[in-house]
Structures are given as structure tokens and as C-alpha cells.
Structure 1
Amino acid sequence: MTTASDARPVPHVVRRGAGVPLLLVHGNGVDHRILLELDEVLADGWERLYVDLPGFGRTPGLPGRGGLSDLLDWLDGWVEDVVGRAPFAVVGNSMGGLLAAHLAARRGAQCLGAALLAPVVQTRHDVRTLPTAEVTRDPELLAGLDPADADEYAAVAVDQGPESWARFRRAVLPGLRAGDPQAMRRLGAAYELPAPDAAGLTGPTLVVTGRQDTIVGFADQWAWADGLARGTFAALDRAGHNVHLDQPATVAALLTAWAERVRAR
């Protein structure tokens, strides 16, 4: 479904709660369900808007090139549609973290704060600073899974086990199966966006990374976060790219403290 006026895809959005708008932006290859795991943590005082980006979940892909900068422009336009000039905050994960940081910098003081979970900082894979993989494997668990599911899970799970698998199956797998392959190929061919201007994020900013994240790492994020005026940085041990699924209790505590700072502005 697209709008008649400008052919911008109309997104699938899950809205929960009431209060200040809180936008939740997922990463590449998944959909909004990866962030629904945080809903109870963020329930107090927020209207949570979980959006499927174009080409993911139930939102049609972008027309034309469909690159990363096009996604950012689409996201900014969607925010204008649903929030206008009202204050809001944003949570972004992986690629969604990069988009959220750019959005916060673009919107300035209108964005009350940003929480970035394993955010992309370097879009070029060949220049990312990545740690050595350290994985605790569960061969018995993996042997009992569908081979395709086992491959997806084993690629990101640091401490494999039944509880970790249950979170992955609930939050990640549905989005992996729901994406538009053509839209993702177009995105991959134009996956270019500079690191956002850290100085442009004026509200409380939380950056949470995994010490064992072999997809985006943590060192590039630490160097970038040094430029934040009101930044909190955490690199969590025994956590990979899905840091909020690997260390849910610690991430929940960090998000709770961040939300309190944002509401206190």
C-alpha cells in the first residue's frame, strides 16, 4: 500500500500505550518484532510506535533506488506525518540505530533523547573494527533445530541455550522470514551513509554494544560516542549483535535509567 500523493510506502506500525511518542526502529533483515522484547521496560509514560521499515515486515519496499539514505529520508518523512513538530524520543537497533542517530541529529531539540542498541557506525564492512568471535555452543540444541533456523541463530548467538533460542525464535525469526528480498538487495547495493554528527544529538543518548558483536563491533561506537554531549556508553560482556536479547536484564536497567533522564528534561 502506498499513498496516492507521493508513492511513499505506508508503514505497518504497532502502537502501544499513551504519552510522549517513542519511535522504535529495527535493523536490517528483521522487523519491528525484534524490539517488542523491550515493551514492558518502556511502558511507563510513552506511546510506543514500532515501525516496519520499507521492505521489511509488512511494509512495502521503497520505489526507485531504495538505498540507506533513501530509508533515512523516508523515516524523517514518516516522523513528520505522525509526530509533526511535537517532542519525541527514539530507540534504534543496528541499522535502525544509525537511522535513529541521524534522525535525532536532523530533528535537534525536538528529539528528547536516543537509545542506540548495537548501532551501525561504519556502513562499510571492510573498515569495521570487530572483536574475535567467542561463542559458547550448544550442539544438542542446534541439532534439534531446522537447519536454516540453526544457521541463523548460530550466526549471532554468543551463549547458546534454550532461553536464548526462545528469545531469538520469538523476536528475530519472524522478521527474517518476512522481508522483501528485492528491496533488501537494492538496499545492500546502496548501503552508504556517513556516521551521524554526534554533536547534533543534544538529549540524553544511550549507546549499548556487545563485546562479542562480530557484526558491527563496539570499538567504532565507542570512538563515535566520545563526541556526545550527554552520552552513556556500555559494552556488555557475553553479548553479541542482538545485545538486548543476549543480556536482557542489563539492557533493561540501562534503558530504564535513560528513559528517566529523558523524561526529566
Structure 2
Amino acid sequence: MLIHGFGVDHRILLPLESALGDLAWRRIYLDLPWAENGSRKPAAGAQEVADGVVDEMRNRLGDEPFALIGNSFGGMVARHVAHTLKDQVLGLATLVSVFTAVHEDRILPPRQIIHRDPALMKAAAEGSSDFEDEAVLQTADVFAGFSEYVFPGLQGADQALMEQIAANYALDTEPELAHPQPFEAPSLHIFGRQDHVTGYEDGWAVREHYPRGTFTVLDAAGHNLHLERPALVSALIRDWIERVEIHGGSGSSAGLS
């Protein structure tokens, strides 16, 4: 399953098809409740959202093995799912995952822009302010990806429902504390060196919990790093999938559900 971040929808993860498209894995792109095509069911907070995803997995897959990819808030949810259903999980990947829910408690790098194109921002219209807030590489290609895959989700989100969830943004217990035994399936955790939203230090702090984990911090990469560094992110995901297939014995019978 591919689980998107807060305030966007499944489209933000569609660029990962460049890494997954020729694989025989079934893929389920989930829309969380606030998304345009989500359930729009009231949720009291992050824990209720995460538990709802666990229920969705059980309803869709039963006891079938699967792997997960989670982005930002979806990374926190994916870690909860992976630990709760550990016996079924072939692998876990996170992109710029939330590891510390309370923003003020996060260890964050200062805001930094590696490349700025003033002409692009002057010519850009819809979504330009949202793009500028997060983009580390402000290029035409990255803006085009943002406009296609990120901005539509921002526009379609249920703001009132997001406010409800944001008021209780943390899980009851972090997955690594709730399930202290090491997570031994192959994992991948990608961070942006210039990600001033979730950072990288908090994620690196739990690296010993993932003995089969690849942890990497990408330079010239912010919170939408898969748009800014697509080739490198794709290569890392392909490597993770190879490790998952070796660990599970075969990838074709399971799913990136």
C-alpha cells in the first residue's frame, strides 16, 4: 500500500511509478479521509486514521503478505501498520516520514533553497506560493511535478476534517516504542537534507530498530524529495524492492498494498 501525506492525496505518490511500473507487484494507492476521493469520515486524530488503515488492510488483504510505502504523515501511519501487522509485512519504505509528531519538538534544518528561478516564480500562477513554501529545487521540472501531483490534492482536501486531525496529530505511542522488538523486514527510510518540515535527525535516531534498514539523507532535497531527486529515489526504491523479494522469496505473488 502507498500512503500519502497530510493535506494531499494519493496523486503525490504517482511519480513513484517510474520505479514500480514494470514490476509484477499489485499496487494500492490509498486516499486518507480528507482527500477528495477519501471516505470523508470524521476522525478524532492520527490514531483513528492509522487504525482505519489497519482495518482497510485486513478487509482488502486478509492474511496476504504485503509491503508498504508511506510519505510524511503517511510514513507515520505506514510504520504503525507495519508494526501492527508485522507477521504479514514483507517490507516498509518511508519518504520524509513524520517521526516526531509535535512540530515544535522536531529537530529541523533551517529553511534553505538550493536553486531558485525567479523568472519561473514570476510566471507561475496557481500553486506557486505552496510550491515556494517547500521546494528546495525551484525548477520548471519540479514545479510541473508539483502542479500535476501535489497541488490538486491540496485543492481538494477537506480543511475542516484536517483541522480535527491536526488537533490530535500524534499516535498514542510511536510504533517503535509500542513494538520494541526490532523490525527485521527490509526497510528504506529516505530523508531530505534541506527538509525543514519533518527533518532527518528524528528518523535517524531510531535506526537501530531497523536492522535491515537503509537510511539515507539526500542533499538538494526537501519535503517533496521524490519530485526533486526522482532518479535517486527510484534507484533506492528499486533496491528496497529487490531486498524485499529476496526476503519474501518472491515478489510476484504479493502486493505493494
Q: How far does residue 110 in structure 1 lie from its aligned partner after superposition?
A: 0.6
Of 184-193 and 195-204, more deviation after overlay is shown by 195-204
Aligned match of 1:151: 129
Answer with 136-145 or 235-244: which moved more: 136-145
Aligned to 2:137, the other structure's residue is in SS state: coil
Q: What is the TM-score when the length of structure 1 is the normalising length?
A: 0.88
Q: Report the equivalent of 1:132.
A: 110
Aligned to 2:244: 262
- The reply on whether 1:62 has 2:44 as its aligned counterpart is no
Q: Percent identity?
A: 39
Aligned to 1:214, which of 191, 196, 215?
A: 196
1:167 aligns with 2:145: yes
C-alpha distance after superposition, 1:15-36 (max 9, x if no partner): xxxxxxxx00000010000001
CA distance in 1, matches of 2:223, 2:130: 12
Report which structure shows greater RCO (CA 8 Å, sep ≥6).
Answer: 2
- Structure 1 residue runs of 4 or more that deviate by more than 3 Å after TM superposition: none
Kept in 2: contact 1:105–1:200 (CA 8 A): no
- Work out the CA distance in 1 between the residues paired with 2:181 and 2:157: 34
Equivalences, count: 241
- In the alignment, structure 2 segments of 5+ residues that lack a partner are 248-257
Match of 2:26 among 36, 39, 47: 47
| Aligned equivalent of 2:160, options 168, 179, 182 | 182
In the TM superposition, residue 56 of structure 1 has moved relative to its aligned partner by 1.2
Q: Distance in 1 between matches of 2:120 and 2:194?
A: 21
Asked if the contact 2:131–2:143 (Cα under 8 Å) also holds between the matched residues in 1, the reply is yes
Amino acid in structure 1 at the alignment position of 2:158: D
Paired position in structure 2 for 1:83: 61
Q: CA RMSD in A?
A: 1.2
Distance 1:55 1:163 in 2: 28
More helix by share: 2
Shift of 1:226: 2.7
Amino acid at match of 2:62: G
For structure 1, list consecutive stretches of 5 or more residues without a partner in the other structure.
1-22
Shift of 1:108: 1.1
Q: What secondary structure is seen at the aligned counterpart in 2 of 1:76?
A: helix
**Is 2:183 the partner of 1:204?**
no
Matched with 2:174 is 195
CA contact (8 A) 2:117 2:139 kept: yes
